[in-house]
């Protein structure tokens, strides 16, 4: 049978391992550059594109998700970012939105 101290130590180690496995990672999207976004350097670009879509549609009070437009807009953003790798992704979206008005 395991000694009480060994048992307590084992439980503590398992709890610590579980806590670190569930660590939350946050991202300040305003600091993400086109290069980081398009180059998969942070996460799959589609994840950030979804967030950006929700952010900008939320600002306009639009609750409708057009999945085809999301794909098209992400492709346009990717093309735009190829020539502007150091531009923040949110600034790139703002410029693209201004062009499409």
The arrangement of secondary structure in 25-99, i.e. its CATH architecture, is: Orthogonal Bundle (1.10)
List of long-range contacts for 89-97, beta carbons under 8 Å, 24+ apart:
89/29, 89/32, 89/33, 89/34, 89/36, 89/37, 89/48, 89/52, 90/29, 90/30, 90/32, 90/52, 92/34, 93/52, 93/56, 97/56
Give the domain ranges of the chain: 25-99
This prediction has a pTM of 0.73
> Mind listing the pLDDT tens digit of every residue in the chain (101 residues)?
456 666 555 665 566 555 555 566 889 999 999 999 999 999 999 999 999 999 999 999 999 999 999 999 999 999 999 999 999 999 999 999 999 87
């Amino acid at each position: 049978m395991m000694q009480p101290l060994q048992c307590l130590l084992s439980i503590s180690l398992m709890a610590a391992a579980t806590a670190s496995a569930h660590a939350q990672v946050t991202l300040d999207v305003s600091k993400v550059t086109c290069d980081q976004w398009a180059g998969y350097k942070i996460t799959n670009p589609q994840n950030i594109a979804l967030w950006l879509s929700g952010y900008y549609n939320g600002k306009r009070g639009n609750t409708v998700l057009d999945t085809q437009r999301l794909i098209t807009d992400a492709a346009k953003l990717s093309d735009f970012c190829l020539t502007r790798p150091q531009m923040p992704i949110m600034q790139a979206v703002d410029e693209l939105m201004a062009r499409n008005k």
